[in-house]
Structure 1
Amino acid sequence: MRRVVRGIALAVLAGAAVPAQAGPAGAQGADFIYVVEPGDTLIGLASRYMASEQGWRTLQRLNGVADPYRLVPGSRMRIPLAQIPEQAASARVVYVSGAVRANGRPVQVGMTLDEAARIETPAGGSATLELPDRTRVTLPPSTTVAVSRLRTFARSGLVDAVIRLDKGAAETRVAPEGGGVGRFELHTPMMVTGVRGTRYRVSADAGGSRSEVLQGRVGVSAARPRSAPAPGRAMVAAASLEAGYGIGVSAGSKLSRPVALLPAPALLPPDGTVLGPSFEAAWQPVPGAVAYHVRVARDAALSELVWSGTASGADAARVRVDGLPEGTLYLSVSAIDRHRLTGHDAQAPVSVRLNPPAPFTQQPAADAVRYAEAVSFEWATVPAAARYELALATDADFTRDAAVHAAAASPAAQALAPGRWWWRVRSVDAAGLPGPWSDAVPFRVEPKPPVPTLQDDGGALHIGWPDGGGGPGYRVQLAADAGFATLLADEHTASNAIDLPRPTPGVYFIRVARAAPGVAPDPAAFSAAQRIEVIAMLRDGQGGAIGSGDRPDGGGRIRLR
């Protein structure tokens, strides 16, 4: 009798056609399906699966068998699940990424989950469960499932598992060692999927439920809601779904036609080893795709996910993958069609290297300005580093004017032309293998400040400096202290010279910076403070300077230091 679930149910069964491989073939409704092998008898099947070999009479009546000792190889025998003795079983957690929880408690690798467990994966996490027959169920980010049933057949050890998918998705590899399965079903609010020895995916959201078959052959039917007429009053929609096809049921209970899955994209894997926890996954667009599903896992079976995401848009052909661990990983990309079915996946190994770690950059800090012909770069020491490499470029992608310089230690200086630059540094181990680059740091190089010279005719201070070749002009400051807290003059000039009133005799300080009118320069833009000493000068009757009281010839004196 067909099992009816709440709402619309889509039952993906063991397949209407005779399977190529005989033996345990999953469940259909309330019955376990067995495909007869040469030499099988009803008494033997009852002894292997049922509470007593006397169950052969039930099998004979249920399956209409004329001779219990002569069964037709390849024929399908129905065995009531209610008459198969079972015992409790557990699922083992074989992989966890992120803050996954079961029954509200944190999930860790190695722990076991029993019947009635409820598992939730966060937006950035995933988990993989392994059943006693090595069936693996991978739960990607933002998924919630509940283990409705988890047992094994007492005599044969076959698994009887029913997992409810409330939201999100799940990918399974059922009985990978080929021993068959007693029952394995994934339920969604609108769909029931049950197969044997098949790799398939199931997803559920507010728009409906979908299933894609990657290996094997299944039969599909849509069960009626409780409000529908009783079974037998009308035919139930059904289809046969082969590997390479997908099907869905909408929120309005409509079963779609089988749709051929889109082919796998042609990947453009990164060249060589990825240095750092991120890289740009790229591929050739697939005609008919509206989006792409991208995953990175520790294993080729994609049961240990470390990253999962979607690239939207028909023309999308790349996505940034980040937060990766070190080691050999596996990149998988699948095209998604307009029916929201996910197609075949293309896969490529990717080698990620995180050690020796990137140094912590110190100076120049982000957006710092250096007024010099040579810039000093500083970073924190990495114990595992034998040496370092310093990279400089005029763009953040290090494609323009890029250069890599060897550095034995921090700090390291490099001569640079004025302009905007980016720098980064990486460690190199004793074997000469580099680690990942640090984050790129932008900074700016401005021309070295001009150094002033002075002339004193006794009437003014004539200050000059080398011409900087045009620009916004210059700012000149005269102060009574080296910190320029007390300014005596603060003037702008468009040329490379200026006259300032001569102060009273004493010690003063002067500096020059390139600056536009009305703009206060960065203190670092000024030349080093120059110490000057103004000496008292004797004057003639016309006011002309004729000498100084502290010199034998009576002349004046001014010092620039």
Structure 2
Amino acid sequence: MSSRPTSHRAAVGGALISLILSGSALAGPAGTQGKDFIYEVERGDTLIGLATRFMTSTDGWHLLQTLNRVEDPYRLVPGTRIRIPLSQIPVAPSTARVVFVRGQASVDGSPMQTGMALAESARIEIGPNSAATLELSDGTRVSLPAATTLQVRRLRAFARSGLTDTMIGIDKGGADSVVAPKGGGVGRYEISTPLMVTGVRGTRYRVSADDGGSRSEVIEGKVGVGAGARPGSATQVAAGYGVGVSTAGRLSKPMALLPAPVVAALPQPVSSRAVTVRWQAVPGAAGYHAGVARDAALTEWVATTESALPEAVFDDLPDGDLFLVVSALSPQRLAGRSGVQSFKVWRNPPAPFSLVPVPDAVEHGGEVAFRWAAVQDASGYELALAADPEFSQRAETRRENGVEAVRTLAVGQWWWRLRSFDARNQPGPWGDALKVTVQPAPPVPAPVDNGEELRVRWPADAGAAAATGYVLQMASDPAFSGDVVTFRTTESALAIPRPASGTYFVRVARATGTDVPLASAFSAPQRIDLQSVLRDGQGAVIVTGGAKKGVQLGAQ
């Protein structure tokens, strides 16, 4: 896996990576070298059979005998290499199919779309933060990272064998290839400028180039890598090793790839928009390359990034089963073996945004109102309540068609969460668990006017555990939006100097500190109608309007 941005320089334009198979286990079609198709002999092969299978005419065996200096055309040694001139192999037009597109990508100036068929000479551009994957007729997959520009210079197939004949020229960027995964071998698979890569049966490799040179890392199989100036001096590179070609054309010795990082497991499923992934640091790593693929073959990259630290953040991943892939980068920029961790993203339909109660709210009384924002196209919602954040104690879940609900809850701490249902009545992921604390209902005050003073009493009780007393408020309107007078007391009664005649409202809340409690902590407002007061000759109070002294007044 690699989708590092790559570029090219003329100095490395002649670099050649030639992938060469060895051993009878992988005999058969083995790609090309120069102007020749390379075939590694299998048991029972003959020159006449090879000419019939690949060449324009069966008589071509004579040319093969001369070119390859074969003494007996009927007895070929398994594992030896037979050169067949590409000019003698008939070809037919072929196509490639777009199997994956992310972000901005175009073909000949038009938007690239999944399922699109590409023909020879197609010009492809992959924009920033984008990616695409092509598939050839033999199952070969070519993953194209961001900021890549290329042209499909040749897209054909060997007419008689069906082997692919593909040449891709990269102007800038890179390509990662899984060549002929079905094991049938390839005719020609070449990526040129700055690297020319010859495909082989069942091999997976990565190539990249930038201003510092070119690199190749072998993931599966065995390959030979040679610099363009000395193509005959290929170095055998086994799986788990990589090499580099400098801008001067110097080929490095094979270097062991860094081990795969141990990737930490992710929560299942991931329901948040952004997810932080972590892995154990790899000794000797200069950095890390991390990506997320949506297929088990790791060819369709929905996100990639590089990090200097053993962690990365991916944002807005698609729903579904995904694969996190992390490789350590050596100081030579060789990408090491990959650590892979599968995980699932499940975010649709999204959980609704909660409005009431606010997080860590304190409610008073048994009834608690819940309200949330509507989710587009949601067919309904579920509200879950429990006495613990794991929703295992006293848990209750109830379906709601609207965006609000009322629940009667006992005194204590509660957690609540929401999820949405789509048009097919399938639920999405649960939202975050939010805590709400329910305290006893506030005491209801009973005001009494005796003409001399206003006395207010309320039931004395233990109240909330943290209560330190009571707060009494008096105002001229039931919303307490005007002039509000606030009194504090540690008793369950309070005498207030009698105000002028008029209508007033009082309410009481338990105090838990020096701050004035929230409006929701107060009792329902109690209305007081104070009449004008006259006194007789002895100074006794006369309450006008027929009211008697000591009358208790009711609630609004």
TM-score tier, shorter chain, comes to: 0.7 to 0.9
Partner of 1:264 in structure 2?
260
8 A contact 2:451–2:543 mirrored in 1: no
8 A contact 1:261–1:341 mirrored in 2: yes
Report deviation, 1:532.
Answer: 0.8
Moved more, 336-345 or 489-498: 489-498
8 A contact 1:276–1:435 mirrored in 2: no
Partner of 1:406 in structure 2?
396
Partner of 1:345 in structure 2?
338
Equivalent in 354, 365, 372 of residue 364 of structure 2? 372
Equivalent in 117, 136, 159 of residue 154 of structure 1? 159
2:551 and 2:252 map into 1 onto residues whose CA distance is 100
- 2:396 maps to amino acid: A
Query: Within 5 Å, which residues of 2 pair with 1:28-427?
Result: 28-53=33-58, 55-56=60-61, 58-66=63-71, 70-122=75-127, 125-140=130-145, 143-189=148-194, 191-197=195-201, 198-223=203-228, 238-250=234-246, 254-269=250-265, 274=269, 276=271, 283-310=279-306, 312-314=308-310, 316=311, 323-326=317-320, 328-347=321-340, 349-350=342-343, 357=349, 359-364=351-356, 366=358, 369-374=361-366, 375-378=368-371, 389-390=384-385, 398=389, 405-410=395-400, 411-413=405-407, 415=409, 423-426=416-419
SS in 2 for 1:7: helix
Partner of 2:11 in structure 1?
7
Give me the TM-score of the superposition, normalised by structure 1. Answer: 0.77
- 1:261 maps to amino acid: L
SS in 1 for 2:553: strand
Question: Alpha carbons of 1:408 and 1:422: their partners in 2 closer, same or farther (altered >3 Å)?
Answer: closer
- 1:407 maps to amino acid: T
8 A contact 1:10–1:193 mirrored in 2: no
Partner of 1:480 in structure 2?
476
Partner of 2:485 in structure 1?
490
Give me the TM-score of the superposition, normalised by structure 2. Answer: 0.77
1:88 and 1:13 map into 2 onto residues whose CA distance is 25
- Superposed CA deviations along residues 20-74 of structure 1, whole A, max 9, x for unmatched, are 4322211112322122334545455444434445555554454344555554432
Question: Alpha carbons of 1:412 and 1:532: their partners in 2 closer, same or farther (altered >3 Å)?
Answer: closer
8 A contact 2:383–2:416 mirrored in 1: no
2:410 and 2:246 map into 1 onto residues whose CA distance is 63
SS in 1 for 2:121: coil
- Superposed CA deviations along residues 325-379 of structure 1, whole A, max 9, x for unmatched, are 24x5445444443433233334455456668x45524441655855424433345
- Give the percent of matched residue pairs that are identical in Structure 1 and Structure 2: 44
1:558 and 1:308 map into 2 onto residues whose CA distance is 74
Question: Alpha carbons of 1:350 and 1:5: their partners in 2 closer, same or farther (altered >3 Å)?
Answer: closer
1:414 and 1:10 map into 2 onto residues whose CA distance is 76
Question: Alpha carbons of 1:16 and 1:296: their partners in 2 closer, same or farther (altered >3 Å)?
Answer: closer
Residues 1:555 and 2:549 are matched in the alignment: yes
Partner of 2:5 in structure 1?
none
- Superposed CA deviations along residues 55-105 of structure 1, whole A, max 9, x for unmatched, are 555544543445555544322222333443333221012233444432332
1:365 and 1:308 map into 2 onto residues whose CA distance is 39
8 A contact 2:144–2:175 mirrored in 1: yes
Report deviation, 1:424.
Answer: 1.9
1:333 and 1:199 map into 2 onto residues whose CA distance is 17
- Superposed CA deviations along residues 429-471 of structure 1, whole A, max 9, x for unmatched, are 9xx9975212455778788666444344534434566697888
Number of residue pairs aligned between Structure 1 and Structure 2: 532
2:117 and 2:339 map into 1 onto residues whose CA distance is 32
- 1:215 maps to amino acid: E
Structure 1 segments unaligned to the other structure (5+ residues): 225-230
